[in-house]
Structure 1
Amino acid sequence: MNRDSAQYDVLVVGGTGVDTVVRVDSLPVPLADSVQVGPIEEWPGHTGANVALGARALGLAVGLIDCIGDDWIGARVRELLAAGDVDFSPLISPAGTRRAVNLVDADGRRMSFYDARDPDDLRMPRDFYLPRLRRSRHVHLSIMNFARYLFDDIEELGVPVSVDLHDWDGLADHHREFALRADLVFLSAAGAGDHTPQLMRAILREGRASTVVATAGASGSTVLTRDGGATPHHIPAVAPPAPVVDTNGAGDAYVSGFLYGKLAGRGALECGRLGAIAGAHACTAPAATDPISLERLLAAHQIA
């Protein structure tokens, strides 16, 4: 893809790094001086890379811009995105590439220790990101602090923007601007728990979003639209097509499937079903390393 003339279906901003995956029998891990585990693995990815790779596997033209380190971790990220045919344009950050240590139990559940490492004053130069925004049908912002400074230009250009708030509880200030300035908002019900429907309604009431989606793992997801009433619509979870290996990246895969549907002109509830299929598929491979193809997504959707 020629970067100077590329037209992106989706431009992903931020959210790359490397996970160190430690497999344990159960969570929480018992307090001990030493715990014997299986092979410890390093997997490049993180939320932005996972969304980009998932969307690309579904046939969308995808660009990704981020700040990474000139280090071996960043090299792993570059290799992953090149192999997945994502047009990756990184800036070098002196703080290095982000990392996380993820404990994963026998059922595929995880606990993540995230090393964000970006300094508060990290910014993307406007002359770097603006030409790419202009060539994009849709922008997906990871909730990196520097990404919030793109909102004004995104709004001025009129490009639709989505965000994933992950497990926001509705209180943490870091997430609030992302929640209220995006057109499409994803979040995990793990953060707000029983208050998730109220939080979804508040995002629609106070922000600019037309659609809010809350994922809840095996309990499915809920979709609330500005013109669809006050009660979120439930989307059942989809049974994974193979044994569950790892839930890392399942939410990112859901986002990719949903974005594919949205850009194809499908309704919000159908987009949610596509997201559920993609998320279930992601659980059958370690660290979301096998994003679902468009052919398999549509075949599974037809069966459902």
Structure 2
Amino acid sequence: MKKVFNIGGVSYNSVIHLDQFPKPVPTTIHHCNFKETVGNTGAGKAVTLSKLDFDVTFHSMIGNDVYGEKIRTYLNKPNLKFIHDIDPQGTERHLNLMNSGGERISIFMNPITDEPNIDYNRFNKEIRKSDFVVVNISNYCRNILPLCKANKIEVWTDLHDYDGKSSYHQDFIDSSDYVFLSSDNLKDYKPFMEKMIDQGKKLVVCTHGKAGACALTKEGWVEVEAITEYRIKDTNGAGDAFFSGFLYGFSKEYSIKKCMQFGTIAGGLCIQSELITNQDLSAELLEKEHLRYY
């Protein structure tokens, strides 16, 4: 089994599904589909990768509270070791408003501490023994980047809805070899991707939701379409599933095109679930779906 060290991003979320977002006027909504569940980008990757036969070590911050306990219970899964530090501010919590098109408004009700008191040196062992190191963009994770550089470890990161100019993301961009992002806030994404390759990145992948995804390496562009047969129940976790499906293909030394196809399948399977990953997901299902669609 390939080993992954994945750091940053777990929360306990309230998720409300509506046909459409409320207009910006006072109103009362009498009926909605509501749930509370574990979410966030690190958790989405950790659970999905563990289902795809990776040996995953996942670090994040949680509170010494009932929500932290719910997270520990949820992450007690095969192939997944969850290690954590206690955040005195409590467990991170989000309120996600979802519409029928899969769009999301996220409200951070309780963010984690930006600069917690953590002994980062204890991660050296995990970094060195891992085949892949994934650094998510929680603020505290930027402090592990110098360790990755000192150990000459390649870094994978996910910038999500980066707008092309946010200074917050710059440390993660500078320190990463493999970069993922979405085009939600970066419509003119191609110049950014080309700039990244010119600066020495090995791979840049940009997802476009229903419009598919594209990748750029030194060898050129690769594009894939979305699979329209997958019907939306909940889009939370879809980007992390795409990332994980791609990494599955990459770990098998498949072509970039095939990796993108596996990412597309994993993302599609995710949106059919109301959780951050499809409960039926496995490497076998991913391969079966690939034969079905490609």
Shift of 1:119: 2.9
Structure 2: distance between partners of 1:267 and 1:155: 27
Offset at residue 78 of structure 1 (A): 0.8
Which residue number corresponds to residue 205 of structure 1?
Answer: 198
1:53/1:120 Cα in 2 relative to 1: closer, same or farther (>3 Å)?
closer
Unaligned runs of at least 5 residues, structure 2: none
Return the alpha-carbon distance in structure 2 between the equivalents of residues 29 and 128 of structure 1: 48
1:216 aligned to 208, 215, 228, which one? 208
Alignment of 1:56-75 (within 5 A): 56-75=50-69
For the 8 Å contact 2:18–2:33, the answer to whether it is kept is: no
Give unpaired runs (5+ residues) of structure 1. Answer: 1-6
For the 8 Å contact 2:87–2:113, the answer to whether it is kept is no
Partner of 1:296: 285
Match of 2:186 among 183, 189, 192: 192
- State the identity %: 30
- Provide TM-score, normalisation by structure 2: 0.93
- For 1:110-168, what per-residue CA distance to the aligned partner results, in whole angstroms no more than 9, with x for missing partners? 22223462333225313321121122111111101111111121122222211100000
CA contact (8 A) 2:120 2:143 kept: no
Q: Aligned equivalents of 1:29 and 1:250: distance in 2?
A: 26
Instruction: Note the alpha carbon deviations across 1:33-54, whole angstroms, 9 max, x for none.
Output: 3222324210112110110111
Give a deviation string over 1:188-214, Cα, whole Å, max 9, x none. 100111x111111122223x4210000
Amino acid at match of 1:205: D
1:265 Cα shift? 1.3
Indicate whether 1:272 and 2:265 are aligned. Answer: no
- CA distance in 2 between counterparts of 1:189 and 1:148 reads 23
Is the 2:3–2:132 contact (alpha carbons within 8 Å) kept by the matching residues of 1? yes
Task: Give TM-score scaled by structure 1 length.
Answer: 0.90
Distance 2:73 2:134 in 1: 21
The one of 104, 109, 112 equivalent to 1:110 is: 104
**1:233-254 deviations in whole A, cap 9, x for unaligned?**
211112344x310111100100
Instruction: Please identify, of 153-162 and 117-126, the stretch whose mean Cα deviation from structure 2 is larger.
Output: 117-126
For the residue of structure 2 that corresponds to 1:127, the secondary structure is helix
Total equivalences in the alignment: 292
